[in-house]
Amino acid sequence: MVRLTLGQLVDRLGGDLQGSSDIEISGLATLSSAGQHDLAFLSHPKYRSQLLSSQAACVVVSRPMGAEAAQRGAAIVVDDAYAYWARVTQLWSKLLPASNEPLIHPSAFIHPLASIDPTARIGPMCVIEAHAVIGSRTWLKSSVTVSQACSIGEDCILHPGVVIGADGFGFAPENGMWTKIEQLGSVRIGNFVEIGANTCIDRGALGETVIEDGVKLDNLIQIGHNVSVGAHTAMAGCVGIAGSAKIGAHCTLGGGAIVLGHLQLVDHVHVSAASVVTRSLLQSGTYSGVFPIDSNESWQKNAATLRQLHSLRDRIKQLESGLPQRG
């Protein structure tokens, strides 16, 4: 069990402590579920009502909530409570008892021509094919496949079921059938990348599919062949990026968003969940392409009206053309 005083925590991570430095914490929890020996956090005003009633030993809060938090007891006041909490979880994870498992699980298959850094961790049932490269301190959890000639950088985490370097979806129509286009490229993944469970990143048809440093991919994401994803971009679950799309740095894509092939998103583009990107987005900003949910009756009426917008526009133009011109 991890035990840490608030003084020790602040010494390691910083922050302004309000309350006794000798208070000991032995767990991390939400405001509503925290007990008398737990550390909790408040970063969203939505949960502000839970602050005073929380049983937590201490609460991490941002500066605008510092005075309010002090009314209930110990608090650590910081500039960004959510980012601070992320560092708390990292510290807590490091303090947990270390596993005695070998760095390379005996059930993993590693081709003799693969290159595995001595500090990398390879989990059960992983497959590392010829000429694949796994960087230092990278962790492949169970049943991860890294195909031939694909490379993964340093300090990455690949969750169970990830497939790196599957064939891209390439077929040429011929005589009423489909002729396979061999996928002869590879995948290159940078440093500090995290890839969620059962995500697939296809190899390039020719050249590379590229995932740059610091990218975070959720579960069940499909990245097509020859896609490039810029540094520190994040994608939520079930996003699909079609082949040869170029995604800039520091972008975010909400769950279920789709980007069609050969399009470009510049840096700092944010796409709302379930949106379909059908054209390149060449200016940073937030984009949404979802018709708002409504009762089915209202939705049907609005959808029927939407189908008539083009003819309504023409009628308005015709009416405007008959109006007298203003002097």
Span 92-120, average pLDDT: 94
- Residue 120: Cβ within 10 Å count: 21
205 and 61 within one domain: no
Q: What is the pLDDT of residue 259?
A: 98
- Domain carrying residue 305: 298-327
Does 206 share its domain with 71? Answer: no
Task: Identify the pLDDT of residue 315.
Answer: 87
Residue 82 shares a structural domain with residue 209: no
SS (H, E, C) 226-237: CCEECCCCEECC
Confidence class for position 326, pLDDT limits 50, 70, 90: low
Q: Are 216 and 141 in a shared domain?
A: yes
Whether residue 261 is found in the same domain as residue 143 = yes
CATH number at residue 153: 2.160.10.10
Could you tell me which of 53, 39, 43 has the C-alpha nearest to residue 5? Answer: 39
pLDDT, tens digit, for every residue of 38-70? 999 999 888 999 999 999 999 999 999 999 998
Q: What is the pLDDT of residue 210?
A: 98
In a domain, 100, yes or no: no
What pLDDT band is residue 89 in, cutting at 50, 70 and 90?
very high
Q: What mean pLDDT is predicted for residues 78-100?
A: 94
Instruction: Kindly report the length of the chain.
Output: 327
pLDDT digits (tens, 9 = 90+) for 142-154: 999 999 999 999 9
Q: Is the pLDDT of residue 6 over 90?
A: yes
Domain end, chosen from 57, 73, 95, is at 95
Q: Are residues 87 and 115 in the same domain?
A: no
Residues 22 and 134 in one domain: no
Within a domain: 232: yes
- 230 neighbors 248 (Cβ within 8 angstroms): yes
Vertex 151: Cα angle to 149 and 154 (nearest 5):
160
Indicate whether 320 belongs to any domain: yes
Q: Are residues 124 and 262 in the same domain?
A: yes
Banded model confidence at residue 37, pLDDT cuts 50, 70, 90: very high
3-state secondary structure (DSSP) of residue 7: helix
Give 179-218 pLDDT, tens digit per residue: 999 999 999 999 999 999 999 999 999 999 999 999 999 9
Average pLDDT over residues 116-140: 98
pLDDT at 325 over 80: no
Q: Are the CB atoms for 131 and 146 separated by under 8 Å?
A: no
Identify the CATH number of the domain in which residue 64 sits.
3.40.1390.10
Whether 101 maps to a domain, the answer reads no
As a whole number, mean pLDDT of residues 251-274 equals 98
For the purposes of burial, counting CB atoms within 10 Å of the CB of 124, is it exposed (0-12), middle (13-18) or buried (19 or more)?
middle
For residue range 230-250, what is the model confidence (pLDDT) as tens digits?
999 999 999 999 999 999 999
Q: Give me the residue label for tokens 């007298």.
A: 324
- Domain assignment present for residue 257? The answer is yes
Residue 104 lies in a domain: no
Question: Are residues 172 and 275 located together in one domain of the fold?
Answer: yes
Residues 226 and 266 in one domain: yes
- As for how many domains the chain has, the answer is 3
- What does the mean pLDDT of the chain come to? 95
Catalytic, out of 111, 159, 225, 310: 225
Check pLDDT > 80 for residue 307: yes
Pair 89, 158 in one domain:
no
- Could you give the percent of the chain with pLDDT greater than 70? 99
Q: Say if 220 falls within a structural domain.
A: yes
225 is catalytic: yes
What is the pLDDT at residue 158?
98
For residue 93, which phi and psi values (nearest 5 degrees)?
A: -60, -40
Q: Is residue 293 included in any domain, yes or no?
A: no
Same domain, 238 and 160: yes
pLDDT value at position 327? 58
Query: Of 71, 95, 119, which one is at a domain's C-terminal end?
Result: 95
